[in-house]
Amino acid sequence: MSQNDSNTQSNIAPSAHSGARYWGNVEVVEEGENYRISRVEIKPRHGIKPQIHYHRNEHWVVVSGIAKVTCGEQEVLVNRNESTYVPAATLHKVENPGSIPLVILEIQNGEYLGEDDTERPFDLSLVQPVTEITNS
């Protein structure tokens, strides 16, 4: 099959969300008005920095490898054929602690999927509970 044949058979236009990242690669598989399905591959010993979204939830299904997921205060290992759910307005990150690529199917669902709904704290050590802040 030629490149032109494959392009005419697909109704999915290349997405601005697809592409290489320093930690791996994202390929959008399908998009709709209120959802996006992506194949996310994270290199061994790499991860996605902590982030939060206010208008979408994410569901991650591990296809290959092991994911170390931090969602709010909870940290879990998610194995192949397992999944985890990230509710909106929850600080989260995913890491690949293993030695093979981590492959995740990510289903984003919400009223708004724009990248400007993503916040990434630069330094989480600056975020402290109010009771721990002292005036020295």
pLDDT at 73: 93
DSSP characters over 110-127: ES---GGGEE--S-GGG-
Whether residue 10 is predicted with pLDDT greater than 60 in this model: the reply is: no
44 belongs to a structural domain:
yes
18 belongs to a structural domain:
no
User: What value does the mean pLDDT of the chain take?
Assistant: 84
10 belongs to a structural domain:
no
Give the domain range for residue 48. Answer: 29-114
123 belongs to a structural domain:
no
Q: What is the pLDDT of residues 65-101, one digit of tens each?
A: 999 999 999 999 999 999 999 999 999 999 999 999 9
Q: Quote the number of domains for the chain.
A: 1
- Ranking 14-23, 42-51, 103-112 by mean pLDDT, the lowest is 14-23
131 belongs to a structural domain:
no
Whether residue 135 is predicted with pLDDT greater than 70 in this model: the reply is: no
pLDDT at 134: 46
Closest CA to 110 of 64, 52, 61, 71: 52
State what percent of residues in the chain have pLDDT above 70.
77
pLDDT at 9: 37
Whether residue 52 is predicted with pLDDT greater than 50 in this model: the reply is: yes
Q: What is the pLDDT of residues 111-129, one digit of tens each?
A: 999 888 888 886 544 444 4
Q: What CATH code is carried by the domain that includes residue 82? A: 2.60.120.10
Structure tokens at 8: 């005419």
What type of residue sits at position 111?
E
